[in-house]
Homo-oligomer: A and B are copies of this chain.
Amino acid sequence: MVKSQTLVLDRTFAALSDPTRRALLARLDEEDSVSISELARPFPVSLPAIMKHLDVLEDAGLITREKTGRTVNCQLIAQPMQEAVAWLNRYERFWNKQLDRLTAFVERDQPPTKKARKK
């Protein structure tokens, strides 16, 4: 894996590790463009704290900020999340294997079904 891809994953996962930042992304998923003051309103933290979270999200490439007059609007960029999913999906095979084992364990301990008894 090239160094820049590694860095994208480092920053994306670090950005997503905070519940306020995940909530900010969820808000931006509802609407195309949201002003910073609107974004900050529902959170019980100060505006400078929200600005710091937005800095982390912007550094991770998860949002963009655009100034229109005196208003700064934020927009979601989903691309880094897509890369995070691609990385995680290599383990899909692994959790399916764990599920198969669990199914096999449960089936082994179950009394045979009517159909199975007929055989």
**Secondary structure at chain A's binding surface: helix, strand, loop or mixed?**
helix
A18 within 8 A of B: yes
**Residues of the B chain whose Cβ atoms lie less than 8 Å from the Cβ of A82:** 91, 95
16 new A-B contacts, CB < 8 A, other than A10-B18, A82-B91, A84-B84, are A10-B17, A10-B19, A11-B17, A14-B17, A22-B87, A25-B91, A26-B90, A78-B94, A78-B98, A79-B95, A79-B98, A81-B95, A84-B88, A85-B88, A85-B89, A85-B92
**Shortest distance from the beta carbon of A21 to any chain B beta carbon, whole Å:** 10
State whether A94 and B13 are in contact (beta carbons under 8 Å apart), knowing that A85-B85, A88-B88 are contacts in the complex.
no
Asked if A76 is at the interface (CB within 8 A of a chain B CB), the reply is yes
Q: Sort chain A's interface into a size bin.
A: 20 to 34
